[in-house]
Amino acid sequence: MPDTLQEIQDRLKAILSKYAPPLVAKVDKPGRYELYSVKDLLIGGRKRTEVYFAGAVIQKSFVGFYFMPMYSNPEFVESLPPELKKCIKGKACFNIRKADQALFKQIDRMTREGVRMYERNKWIA
| Confidence band, pLDDT 50/70/90 cuts, at residue 3 | low
Containing structural domain, residue 83:
5-118
- The pLDDT tens digits for 12-70 are 999 999 998 999 899 999 899 999 998 888 777 888 888 889 999 999 999 999 998 98
- Distance from C-alpha of 114 to C-alpha of 18, rounded to nearest angstrom: 13
Q: Is residue 124 part of a domain?
A: no
Sign of the dihedral through C-alpha 78, 82, 83, 88: positive
* Number of separate domains in the chain: 1
Rounded to the nearest 10 degrees, the angle between the axes of helix 101-120 and helix 5-17 is 30
In DSSP terms, 28 is beta-bridged to 33
pTM, to two decimals:
0.88
Please answer whether residues 48 and 36 qualify as being in contact, where contact means their C-beta atoms are separated by less than 8 angstroms: no
Q: For residue 13, what is the domain's CATH number?
A: 3.90.1150
